[in-house]
């Protein structure tokens, strides 16, 4: 009995025939019809909600299988008023930094049952439009601080969707997560200073992003503690080629330094490489240290002394916080800060250890 004798297949008020359906034409109606039940029951089976007899459940599942039914996410989203998706906005993906972040984010988001919609800002002509468009399809957005969130965009989102900034300054209503910078930068700088180096230069632009700013602040603080005057930072953007250029300036004597403290490993690596090619000894003539602990830093000779950030955890944290917000939770006023770790290898002047294990075995979960 039940609704076995359904003569329409679409027992709603709608006068029209069965809906045109998704890609292949199967909708919840087709499934219901085939299983001889109502669409409500199909939905209940699929959502695991409500009570459905095991016999009915079987019938429905069989029908789903036979028709190869894939529900239309948009319809569900509309009905439940949730996208069940988190947005992530990153500048780009070269280098391990953003990838790690993304992996952590995706992993946690998946655990929370959220899909992740990614947007890269580099090369986007109309950023504001892109973010707006993204906002249209997600419940909340995590944004990587530096430059990924121009004011107009921030304004557009204001109060619309939960936003969490990664590595950005916390603002009213948008919370922020990040890694520690100032202390480890100070520690690293002090370490170099302790090697007896006296003319350190900081390479990277402190104004490019708050975290670089903090790194530079640590650099300055270490100098202050020893009552020595820090040199002016060499302001260059994060681009591999820039390292070469800086190295040339050092070789030419234009920049006088016996140690260079770089804002990231890419810069440090390219500087060290160029210096070595030109016959300079590292760390003999000049020490070089970086930031991020990218893979290459373990393989170059001497090993690159650098700072490891818990980038993946940052991604996890961001996903967590975002989800919290999406669930209606209140934003945290203070910034969440994860600890970093100074990794000593040979490029700072220390005797090179044989090798440093990777942070975590690759390809682990």
Where do contacts with DNA occur on this chain (CB under 7 A)? 2-3, 11-16, 19-22, 27-29, 36-41, 43-44, 46-47, 49-53, 55-56, 71-72, 75-76, 78-81
Which of 196, 241, 329, 339 binds its own copies (CB under 8 A)? It is: 241
Piece in contact with its own copies (CB under 8 A), picked from 36-44, 55-63, 113-121, 200-208: 113-121
Interface with its own copies, residue 77, by CB under 8 A: yes
Window 297 to 356, contacts with its own copies (CB under 8 A):
298-301, 354-355
- As measured in angstroms, the least distance from the Cβ of 23 to its own copies is 6
Q: What DSSP line would sit under 326-341, residue for residue?
A: HTTPPPPSSPEEE--E
**Cα–Cα distance measured from residue 329 to residue 331, given in angstroms and rounded to the nearest whole number:** 7
The interface mask with its own copies, positions 24-43, x = CB under 8 A, is x-------------------
Extended beta strands in 247-298, E state = 259-262, 287-289
Task: Report the residue count for the chain.
Answer: 365
* CA pseudo-torsion sign 147, 149, 153, 155: negative
Interface with its own copies, residue 13, by CB under 8 A: no
- As measured in angstroms, the least distance from the Cβ of 167 to its own copies is 17
Pick one of its own copies, DNA, none as the site partner of residue 36 (Cβ within 5 to 8 A by kind): DNA
Interface with its own copies, residue 211, by CB under 8 A: no
Distance, first Cα to last Cα, the chain? 50
Which of 38, 115, 171, 336 binds its own copies (CB under 8 A)? It is: 115
**Cα–Cα distance measured from residue 187 to residue 194, given in angstroms and rounded to the nearest whole number:** 10
Which of 1, 4, 23, 252 binds its own copies (CB under 8 A)? It is: 23
Phi, psi of 187 (to 5 degrees): -60, -45
Assign 3-state DSSP to the chain and report helix, strand, coil percentages, each to 5: 40, 15, 45
The interface mask with its own copies, positions 257-296, x = CB under 8 A, is ---------x--xx-xxx-xx----------------xxx
Count the site residues for its own copies by CB under 8 A: 80
Interface with its own copies, residue 100, by CB under 8 A: yes
Pick one of its own copies, DNA, none as the site partner of residue 95 (Cβ within 5 to 8 A by kind): its own copies
CB atoms under 10 Å from CB of 211, counted, come to 23
Window 118 to 157, contacts with its own copies (CB under 8 A):
118-120, 122-124, 130, 132-137, 139, 156
- As measured in angstroms, the least distance from the Cβ of 40 to DNA is 3
Cβ atoms of residues 338 and 301 within 8 Å: no
Phi, psi of 261 (to 5 degrees): -105, 110
Pick one of its own copies, DNA, none as the site partner of residue 118 (Cβ within 5 to 8 A by kind): its own copies
Cβ atoms of residues 141 and 148 within 8 Å: no
User: H/E element holding 85?
Assistant: strand 85-90
**Cα–Cα distance measured from residue 265 to residue 101, given in angstroms and rounded to the nearest whole number:** 17
- As measured in angstroms, the least distance from the Cβ of 355 to its own copies is 6
């Amino acid at each position: 009995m039940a609704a076995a004798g359904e003569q329409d297949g679409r027992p709603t008020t709608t006068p029209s025939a069965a809906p045109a359906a998704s890609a292949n034409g199967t909708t919840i109606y087709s499934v219901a019809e085939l299983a001889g039940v109502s669409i409500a029951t199909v939905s209940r089976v699929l959502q695991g909600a409500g009570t459905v007899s095991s016999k009915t459940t079987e019938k429905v599942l069989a029908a789903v299988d036979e028709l190869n039914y894939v529900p239309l996410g948009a319809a569900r989203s509309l009905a439940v008023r949730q996208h069940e998706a988190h947005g992530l906005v990153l500048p780009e993906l070269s280098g391990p930094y953003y990838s790690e972040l993304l992996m952590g984010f995706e992993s946690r988001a998946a655990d929370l049952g959220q899909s992740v919609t990614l947007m890269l800002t580099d090369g986007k002509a109309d950023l504001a439009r892109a973010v707006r468009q993204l906002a249209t399809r997600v419940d909340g957005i995590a944004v990587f601080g530096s430059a990924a969130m121009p004011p107009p965009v921030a304004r557009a989102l204001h109060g619309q969707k939960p936003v969490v900034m990664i590595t950005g300054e916390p603002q009213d209503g948008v919370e922020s997560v990040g890694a520690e910078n100032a202390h480890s930068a100070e520690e690293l700088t002090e370490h170099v200073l302790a090697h007896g180096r006296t003319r350190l230069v900081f390479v990277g632009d402190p104004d490019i992003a708050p975290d670089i700013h903090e790194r530079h602040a640590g650099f300055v603080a270490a100098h202050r503690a020893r009552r020595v005057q820090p040199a002016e930072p060499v302001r260059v953007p994060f681009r591999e080629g820039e390292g070469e250029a800086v190295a040339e300036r050092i070789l030419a004597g234009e920049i006088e330094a016996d140690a260079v403290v770089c804002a990231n490993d890419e810069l440090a690596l390219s500087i060290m490489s160029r210096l070595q090619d030109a016959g300079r000894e590292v760390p003999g003539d000049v020490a070089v240290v970086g930031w991020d602990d990218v893979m290459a830093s373990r393989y170059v000779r001497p090993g690159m002394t650098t700072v490891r950030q818990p980038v993946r955890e940052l991604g996890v944290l961001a996903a967590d916080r975002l989800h919290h917000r999406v669930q209606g939770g209140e934003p945290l006023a203070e910034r969440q800060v994860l600890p970093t770790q100074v990794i000593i290898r040979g490029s700072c002047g220390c005797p090179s250890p044989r090798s440093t294990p990777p942070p975590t075995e690759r390809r682990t979960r």
